[in-house]
């Protein structure tokens, strides 16, 4: 039975959610504070330069002045972390996906990560303050040294406790999302028997074939949370990059595959498009990259294009398409396999457009297809250009060229 929303409750909820913008002026106020620290930094630097030029700067003075500059920089770093990370977490997305200067920490920031980073930054600032006191120990009372040390140890203990507590909370959230996704797949009645048709076995290479390919990064050691994410992803079988026969396709970008094996594209919210004839290993690579994403801590969901069509059609019929698309945001990576094997009607094509448009610059997709994006109008009709434009904007396109390993095996069997 479809869930009927109460319009009044929905309106109140949206109104409450909109109040998050009241925080925006606070972050702009912190930007002004950042400007104050910039002024303070250059004032301290100018004073230090004048003292050194005039010859009045002792070694202790220079050391203390440099520590003051370091202190200002660390506080400025703390401010920018609060400004950017806090705004991204609690107010609105900034939209830096794919930007070459996107901070590394911003791609996986959340409230728990932000709290731990702030705590460690405060410990660093406290360390500089304590070092200043010990450098100028002759002008610092024993009482001040004692309490400075005690306060610094309290900061360290607080940061350690916060980091310890945030680990189990994140792991529990991951397990909850994984169990939810696994239950959803069971209700969909997913048949996993036919998904591995594009997976060439490792031993399918011709004897004596040369091996010249970039080294694939080694997969991390499995743990309980990783295994839960892999099981919940709904892969037809566990395929690894290490098991992919890189000599089977006549041509494909091995360096791109090795780079994608680091799973950094998921954090950057980029897409991956694997294109090639049947039997060249597209599904194998898609699953292997999905496994790597699970090992990197991301939740993944795998299904064929036909299964995604059925899932979205069911959600639309129940009047919960928007809720379904929003629920899929819990998975930073979705894999859509076998696009092109079956053309879709206009209504189903519009559902795929909704999916791609909803995840545009918000989360990642891996798609496999037997035809290039320029021919997707054969599958999706008039909605194809707008869909492929969003899909390819932030995407790595990998073309696999070669014969089907299944056909080759069958031919060899007949020849024998």
User: What is the average per-residue pLDDT within 142-167?
Assistant: 82
| Cα angle 370, 372, 376; round to 5 | 90
What does the buried/exposed string (b/e) look like for 368-383 if buried means 16 or more CB atoms within 10 Å of the residue's CB? Answer: bbbeebeebbebbeeb
pLDDT band at 352 (very low <50, low <70, confident <90, very high): very high
Asked whether the predicted pLDDT for residue 316 surpasses 80, the reply is yes
User: What is the average per-residue pLDDT within 186-206?
Assistant: 44
The pLDDT > 70 percentage for the chain reads 75
Which tokens sit at 353?
Answer: 């457009």
Lowest mean pLDDT segment, chosen from 19-23, 111-115, 141-145, 168-172: 168-172
pLDDT band at 110 (very low <50, low <70, confident <90, very high): low
Please choose, from the candidates 228, 226, 234, the residue with its C-alpha nearest in 3D space to the C-alpha of residue 336. 234
The pLDDT > 90 percentage for the chain reads 44
Residue bearing the bigger pLDDT, 54 or 183: 54
Whole-number pLDDT of residue 9: 65
**Mean pLDDT of the residues in the chain:** 80
Best-predicted range by mean pLDDT among 99-108, 141-150, 264-273? Answer: 264-273
User: What is the average per-residue pLDDT within 61-70?
Assistant: 88
- Segment 226-255, tens digit of pLDDT: 999 999 999 999 999 998 887 777 677 888
pLDDT band at 302 (very low <50, low <70, confident <90, very high): very high
The sign of the torsion formed by the CA atoms of 231, 235, 241, 243 equals positive
Best-predicted range by mean pLDDT among 1-5, 69-73, 137-141, 412-416? Answer: 69-73
Lowest mean pLDDT segment, chosen from 83-97, 151-165, 280-294, 306-320: 83-97
The 8-class DSSP code of residue 360 comes to T
| Per-residue CA distances from 222 to 15, 112, 169, 211, 239 (Å) | 44, 23, 19, 28, 14
Cβ-based burial of 292 (10 A; exposed 0-12, middle 13-18, buried ≥19): buried
Give me the DSSP letters along 153-193.
HHHHHHHHHHHHHHHHHHHHHHHHHHHHHHHHHHHHT---T
Asked whether the predicted pLDDT for residue 101 surpasses 70, the reply is no
Residue bearing the bigger pLDDT, 4 or 380: 380
Q: Which residue has the tokens 């019929």?
A: 317
Dist CA 285 CA 349 (whole Å): 25
Q: Helix, strand, coil proportions of the chain in percent (round to 5)?
A: 65, 5, 25
Dist CA 380 CA 391 (whole Å): 14
Query: Nearest 10 degrees: CA dihedral of 341, 345, 347, 353?
Result: 40
pTM of the model: 0.50
Is 113:166 a contact under the CB 8 Å cutoff? yes
């Amino acid at each position: 039975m479809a869930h009927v929303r109460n319009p009044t409750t929905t309106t109140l909820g949206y109104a409450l959610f909109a109040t998050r913008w009241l925080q925006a002026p606070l972050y702009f106020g912190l930007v002004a504070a950042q400007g104050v620290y910039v002024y303070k930094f250059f004032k301290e630097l100018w004073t230090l330069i004048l003292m050194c030029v005039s010859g009045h700067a002792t070694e202790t003075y220079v050391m203390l002045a440099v520590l003051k500059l370091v202190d200002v920089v660390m506080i400025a770093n703390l401010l920018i972390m609060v400004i950017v990370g806090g705004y991204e977490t609690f107010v609105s997305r900034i939209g830096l996906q794919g930007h070459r200067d996107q901070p590394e920490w911003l791609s996986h920031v959340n409230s728990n990560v932000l709290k731990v980073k702030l705590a460690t930054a405060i410990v660093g600032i406290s360390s500089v303050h304590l070092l200043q006191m010990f450098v100028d120990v002759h002008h610092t009372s024993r009482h001040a040294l004692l309490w400075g040390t005690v306060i610094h140890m309290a900061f360290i203990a607080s940061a350690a406790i916060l980091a310890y507590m945030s680990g189990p909370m994140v792991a529990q959230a991951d397990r909850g999302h994984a169990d939810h996704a696994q239950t959803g797949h069971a209700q969909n009645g997913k048949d996993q028997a036919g998904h591995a048709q594009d997976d060439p076995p490792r031993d399918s290479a011709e004897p004596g074939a040369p091996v010249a390919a970039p080294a694939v990064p080694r997969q991390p050691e499995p743990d309980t949370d990783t295994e839960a994410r892999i099981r919940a992803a709904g892969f037809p079988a566990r395929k690894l990059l290490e098991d992919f026969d890189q000599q089977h396709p006549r041509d494909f970008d091995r360096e791109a595959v090795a780079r994608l094996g680091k799973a950094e594209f998921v954090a950057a919210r980029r897409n991956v498009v694997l294109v090639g004839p049947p039997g060249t290993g597209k599904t194998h690579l898609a699953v292997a990259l999905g496994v790597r994403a699970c090992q990197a801590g991301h939740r993944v969901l795998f299904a064929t294009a036909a299964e995604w069509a059925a899932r979205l059609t069911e959600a639309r019929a129940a009047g919960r398409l928007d809720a379904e698309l929003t629920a899929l945001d819990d998975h930073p990576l979705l894999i859509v396999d076998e696009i092109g094997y079956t053309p879709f009607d206009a209504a189903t094509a519009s559902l795929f457009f909704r999916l791609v448009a909803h995840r545009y610059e918000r989360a990642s997709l891996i798609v496999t297809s037997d035809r290039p994006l320029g021919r997707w109008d054969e599958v999706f009709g008039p909605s194809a250009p707008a869909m492929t434009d969003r899909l390819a904007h932030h995407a790595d396109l990998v073309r696999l060229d070669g014969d089907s390993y299944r056909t080759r095996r069958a031919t060899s069997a007949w020849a024998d």
